[in-house]
Structure 1
Amino acid sequence: MTTFLLVPGLYLGGWAWEAVAAELTAKGHRAVPVTLPGLGERAGEDAAGIGLAEHADAVAELLDAQEPGVVLVAHSYGIFPSVAAVDRHPEKVARLVIVDTGTPETGEAVVTLMPHLLEAADGPVLRVPTGLDPVHGVPEAEEERYLRLITPHPLRTVTDPVELTGAWLKVPTTGVFCLANGLSLEVARALYATGAPRFAKLAEPGVTFFELPTGHYPMLSTPVELAEVLVGAAAGEGRSLLGD
């Protein structure tokens, strides 16, 4: 049995992982969907007082409460608090699975990489989206649930820089690329070919990759397939960057 800690992206709570968690549980594993401070059922918390450190603390506390061998799954924005937590507790994590996003460098904020997010700033929060692009392949019923359950996202979590020691780099990782959103093994190979130090880890032993023919929200569009990928990732399966 593997424990999967499931960290969501912007605007989402642990509810976004319900279908994936059910699939993992049916396969005999333990799934722990995470709702970060100020989001989901915790949306009543003071958004102005919640920054990236509070989100990183929340993930780190959950990690600290588990036995070693956790597979930490981070979707999109979730990689920022997740990589900060892994950096503190690398001994707890058997594998970091990165769903349709990259990894930050120390000192970077989410808006460093995605400055357009500031267009949604409304006081201490980011306003919720009005819908999902059809390219993401989310079924109508799931999109309706998404729009009903998403909550404004604390602004400081995307403007605060992440501080890392580099300890997380020793943890095996798996990238899950969602092809309809533009990320793929081909893109990763092109990034690695630039020779930029931040992409060196992509080709290291133990780093694997999967591709899913869906958009940026595979937990909503293809939960069964995503659960299968997560189980495979936990077993060290997947393609290497340069091996095929």
Structure 2
Amino acid sequence: MATFVLVPGMCHGGWTFEPLARRLREHGHQAYPLTLTGLGARAHLLTSTVNLETHIQDVVNTLLDEQIEDAVLVAHSYGGMVTTGVADRVPDRVDSLVYVDALVPGDGDSCWSLVPAEREWYLESGETGYAVPPLPFFDPRATAHPLASLIQRLRLTGDGDLARFRRRDYVYATGWDGESPFESLREQLLADPLWTVHDVDSRHNVMRDAPDILLKILLDSV
């Protein structure tokens, strides 16, 4: 039995992973689809101080509170910033990593630095000045995302070596309209024998558009 901890992307809550979580449980695994501070059902907690470290601590606290010691961290999009930080903070509680069309940052990286094409969107912070609105085509449940979490640089306190974990999978969505912001990352990981890269015929929201394939990848990873 594996324990999956599922971290959503920008503007999304645990609901984006809930259908997948139910299917993982049907296969005998544990699954925790998380909602990060200031998002989804926790949108009432959104303030100017919610940042990347807040979200890393959200996940770390879940691992500690639930006494999880063998987590398969599954991250979508922005969630890759979070799970990389979590793996650095509590490596003894992480078994493996799955990045679903997600960022794989290094020390000092941020969403701002890694995805410069999205900066115009990030700065559309509306009336509050610290919350980035969801894009029009997002699910109606999507909520504003804390700007500070996109600008803050990830600081790795350990050696940042993901090779210590049992397995590292990257799910690359091939169905973007135009060039994927993760194309160069895919090429980099394909050349690294420590990574397994899966090309999936899907748009960015792989959980919605290719759930069966994603489920198989997760089951095969354990």
Q: Is the TM value for this pair above 0.5?
A: yes
Task: Name 1:7's counterpart in structure 2.
Answer: 7
Q: Which aligned pairs between 1:1-244 and structure 2 lie closer than 5 A?
A: 1-64=1-64, 65-115=66-116, 116=119, 117-122=121-126, 123-131=129-137, 146-147=139-140, 149-164=141-156, 165-169=158-162, 170-171=164-165, 172-181=167-176, 191-192=187-188, 203-205=192-194, 207-234=195-222
Using the alignment, how far apart are the partners of 2:99 and 2:81 within structure 1? 11
Q: Which amino acid aligns with 1:124?
A: Y
Please give the TM-score of this superposition, normalised by the length of structure 1. Answer: 0.79
Using the alignment, how far apart are the partners of 1:45 and 1:188 within structure 2? 33
How many residue pairs get matched?
Answer: 211
Q: Which amino acid aligns with 2:200?
A: L
Deviations 1:5-59 (A, max 9, x none): 0000000000001111111111111110000000000000132120111001111
- SS of equivalent to 2:221: helix
Identical positions, percent: 31
Using the alignment, how far apart are the partners of 2:36 and 2:201 within structure 1? 28
- Residue segments in structure 2 that go unaligned for 5+ positions in a row: none
Structure with more helix by fraction: 1
Moved over 3 A (4+): 185-189
Cα deviation, residue 167, structure 1: 4.0
- Residue segments in structure 1 that go unaligned for 5+ positions in a row: 133-145, 193-198, 235-244
Deviations 1:43-99 (A, max 9, x none): 001321201110011111112333322100010000111110110111211111011
Using the alignment, how far apart are the partners of 1:46 and 1:119 within structure 2? 17
Task: Name 1:196's counterpart in structure 2.
Answer: none
Cα deviation, residue 188, structure 1: 5.3
Q: 1:77 to 1:19 in 2, by over 3 A?
A: same
Q: 1:19 to 1:202 in 2, by over 3 A?
A: farther
Q: Which amino acid aligns with 1:215?
A: R
